[in-house]
A = this chain, B = another copy of it.
């Protein structure tokens, strides 16, 4: 009859999505301006004009038959080449067209990468705090996602726990830096230490351990923060990128996988991604969107508002007594809650129409996530509400 796995998944709704849906309903009751909705990571700044103009140009100047034709299954050649060039120019790498696979966002990229490098029963490790949608992506492949507990003083990597958990069934490590939900950027020191441990364990276990690097926030790094390009530090890196945040195009589902040419079986991997897409019937991202983003590879939306919001919130909340590891990028912040039960804390905030996501879903207790991709004026108006919340704990 019906497949029970998917029926069960229907019952596991995302806490973030549910809070966001509550926010939309509440806004209808009391007005959008009165709900301080920090739940969803939906970019608040417009896509760059270069993207919009290129889309219009493609539609106005091209023969529709040729514009809208099937994309080759690994992506449009000129687009893959342009992506490789942009990575080489920006990060001093040596990608070629053959190393790039166009995909509909980082979610699909991660799911493809995980599917390619594991068989059912293999393990993938990730680090708390982590994006909870990793669970469905990995479990759908048949592999098992295990979560290394957080180092809550820095939100860098908890290496002691990591080494304990790194056994020979682990085929991949899934990292996300700049990180959702902590906003933390892994330092060069962290990445080099990770790379060193992985290289040692590859030798010991006799098989590659791929580093699946989820990088949708790569372009949102704040002033003065060290943000290494991961693949430059570890050969067996599969980079999963999305244009959702950098170009403010979350609904257009466009990204790529870049396989480090020095990676074990690199050419095989890209072909395998094509076969994975074929099997799920999803083939390529839309041709016109591929073509348009290829002209905005050196551009971003105006991302400065996120740093403005971060500075404002970090300064004011710290003054109120919140303990926060200062974000180095993204549009997230992950302060300690003012009581041990993050859900109870978030419920108190919700009663003030301040929507904060409790941390449990991210694999850490007693914290909460703020998604500050909202207008700065609204952040400013939310400060007294945070104060009211803090005052409840005096």
Q: A69 in the interface, Cβ–Cβ < 8 Å? A: yes
A251 close to B (CB within 8 Å): yes
How many angstroms from the CA of A60 to the CA of B60 in the assembled complex? 13
> Which residue of B6, B45, B286 is within 8 Å of A115 (Cβ)?
B6
Does B117 contact A3, Cβ atoms closer than 8 Å? Answer: yes
Contacts of A98 in B (CB 8 A): none
Which B residue sits closest to A67, measured CB to CB?
B251
> Taking CB as reference atom, which chain B residue is nearest A117?
B2
- A52 at the B interface (CB under 8 A): yes
> Which of B4, B68, B268, B269 touches A248 (beta carbons < 8 Å)?
B68
CA–CA, A111 and B6, complex, Å:
14
**Chain B nearest CB, measured from A227 CB (Å):** 24
CB distance from A76 to the nearest CB of B (A): 9
| Interface range on chain A (Cβ under 8 Å from partner) | 35 or more
Q: Indicate whether A280 reaches chain B with its CB closer than 8 angstroms.
A: yes
> In angstroms, how far is the closest chain B Cβ from the Cβ of A202?
11
Complex Cα spacing A41 to B70, Å: 10
Contact partners of A286 in chain B: CB under 8 A: 251-254, 285-286, 289
A300 CB, min distance to chain B CBs, angstroms: 13
Interface positions of A from 61 to 119, Cβ below 8 Å from B: 63-65, 67-71, 104-112, 115-119
The answer on a CB contact under 8 Å between A68 and B250 is: yes
Q: Are A268 and B116 within 8 A (Cβ)?
A: no
Min CB distance A185 to B, Å, is 24
Q: In the complex, how many angstroms separate the beta carbon of A361 from the nearest chain B beta carbon?
A: 15
**Residue A9 at the chain B interface, CB threshold 8 Å:** yes
Query: A392 at the A/B interface (Cβ < 8 Å)?
Result: no
- Is A281 a contact of B42 with CB atoms below 8 Å? no
Residues of B within 8 A of A171 (CB): 1
Interface string of A105-146 (1 = CB under 8 A from B): 111111110011111000000000000010011011000000
* Distance of A111 from chain B, by nearest CB (Å): 3
Instruction: Decide yes or no whether A271 CB sits under 8 A from chain B.
Output: yes
Asked if A284 meets B137 with Cβ closer than 8 Å, knowing A1-B171, A171-B1, the reply is no
A321 at the interface (CB under 8 A from B): no
Q: Identify A2's interface contact among B7, B112, B251, B265, CB under 8 A.
A: B265
B268 touches A7 (CB 8 A): yes
Q: A2-B116, A43-B65, A140-B280 in contact; A10/B55 too (CB < 8 A)? A: no
Task: List residues of A whose CB falls within 8 A of some B CB.
Answer: 1-4, 6-7, 9-10, 42-47, 52, 55-56, 59-60, 63-65, 67-71, 104-112, 115-119, 133, 136-137, 139-140, 171, 207-208, 248-254, 265, 268-269, 271-272, 274-276, 278-289
10 A-B residue contacts at CB 8 Å? A3-B272, A6-B116, A106-B281, A111-B281, A140-B279, A251-B288, A252-B287, A253-B282, A285-B286, A286-B289
